[in-house]
Amino acid sequence: MDFFLKSDFEAYLVGGIIRDTLLGRKTHDIDISVHGDAIKAATELNKIIRGKLEIHKDFGTATILKNRTRIDIAMTRDEIYPKPGALPQVFESDIHGDLRRRDFSINAMALALNRKKLRFLDPFFGMKYLNERLIRVIHPKSFLDDPTRIFRALRYKNRLNFKLESKTEKLLIEAVWLRVLKKVSKQRILNELKLICKEKTYLKTLKDLHHYEIFEFNMKKLNLIKKIPDDLKCYYFLSLLEDKFPLSNEEERIVSNFRNLERIRNTLKSAKINSDIYYALHNVDERVIKVLNRLYKGLRQKIRKFYRLRRIKPIIRGDDLLALSIKPGPIFREILSGIHKMQLDGLVKSKHDATQIIKKWLNVS
């Protein structure tokens, strides 16, 4: 701050840092808006801070990372939304435009880091709503312009233990009815869901998603989320939804495992022989196996057995089948898994035995 107080940059502390400081909440994220060359301001500031400077030329923004603190520096800008849900067209503006484009009153306060004196800017009565503990949009089109604010409103409401201001709540409900979230990319919605699940008050917000009919899902099944580790909660929640989200293969697998959790549990429960135990879990993500282990005491012994079975190397591999002049094809997989199962169940112990069995099979079929 000292740097800006002594420099000629027209800079402002904005957004979350002001809100959180006024609420007496700790934050490691600092947003600074600069009227003018934000990258230059960041570069000069970093000469003093000596953190890690990341410059995003295309956006005219920069980030300085130092220990746990993150400073985002952007030029003061306004936005126009060409159509609901689309990404905004951004253009340079003064601090008033910069505050006007924001989501909620409590997020639209700024502190001018002026050479002579600090000046507090609060054109949308952020202080008033902070005192009244209300989330209030700055203008009636806020949720239509950027429907992700529906998620943000609920996230802040629960995080801060605020309420939605009554008009804001009506606008939110109206936006949901108008299906504005259909206009937002699934990636952006996924980002919001991930942010929600990172919060301490995630459960309240997920229940709100149901209450406000943003997503339909089985509320009874939601309860289990309390027992799911933090880093997997979001995937568990996604498994309750019918919507498809852009996930990595690993994420997709975890979601699908959660969707089938009951089935996996039952298959494992009724597994009697080693190969049944192995095949009940061999396609289940490691982290979901840990969840099963944590949730269901009765399965622990079988899970431990699975870990042991997993270490057993198959006696027969593809190369061995080629050596027996078997042509690669679906039969390969059938033979390999057949022998592997027998091996797990102790029915074949050596490569020689296995080869004999395969030869017999081939003669029969």
Question: Which residues would be at the binding site for ligand CTP (CB under 6 A)?
Answer: 15-16, 29, 31, 102-103, 107-108, 146, 148-149, 152
Of the candidates 88, 137, 113, which has an alpha carbon nearest to the alpha carbon of residue 32?
A: 113
Q: Which three-class secondary structure state does DSSP give residue 104? A: strand
- Report in angstroms how near the CB of residue 122 gets to ligand CTP at its nearest: 13
For residue 31, the surrounding DSSP H or E stretch is: strand 29-35
Nearest to 211, CA basis, from 121, 277, 132, 150:
150
Q: Which is nearer to ligand CTP, 93 or 343 (CB)?
A: 93
At closest approach, how far in Å is the CB of 9 from ligand CTP? 20
* Backbone torsions φ then ψ of 34, nearest 5 degrees: -120, 130
Phi, psi of 110 (to 5 degrees): -140, 155
Hey, is 277 helix, strand or coil? helix
Rounded Cα–Cα distance for residues 316 and 352 (Å): 10
Please report how close the Cβ of residue 226 comes to ligand CTP at its closest, in angstroms.
23
Closest distance between ligand CTP and the C-beta of residue 38, in Å? 14
- What residues pair up with 10 in beta bridges, in sequence order? 35
Residue 189 beta carbon to ligand CTP: minimum distance, rounded to whole angstroms: 12
In the bound state with ligand CTP, the residue whose beta carbon lies nearer, of 150 and 344, is: 150
Q: Which residue, 77 or 233, has its beta carbon nearer to ligand CTP?
A: 77
Least distance between ligand CTP and beta carbon 296 (Å) = 35
344 three-state secondary structure: helix
Specify the residue, 29 or 250, whose C-beta has the smaller distance to ligand CTP: 29
Which residue number, 194 or 259, has a Cβ lying nearer to ligand CTP? 194
H, E, C per residue of 140-199 = CCHHHHCCHHHHHHHHHHHHHCCEECHHHHHHHHHHHHCCHHHHCCHHHHHHHHHHHHHC
155 CA to centre of own chain: 13
Nearer to ligand CTP, 153 or 289 (CB): 153
- Closest separation in Å from C-beta 108 to ligand CTP: 6
The 8 Å CB, 24+ separation contacts for 295-304 are 295/224, 295/227, 296/265, 298/269, 299/265, 299/268, 299/269, 302/268, 302/271, 302/277, 303/268
H/E element, 38: helix 38-49
Which one, 149 or 340, has the nearer CB to ligand CTP?
A: 149
| CB closer to ligand CTP, 152 vs 157 | 152
Chain residue at closest Cβ approach to ligand CTP: 16
CB 22, min distance to ligand CTP, A: 12
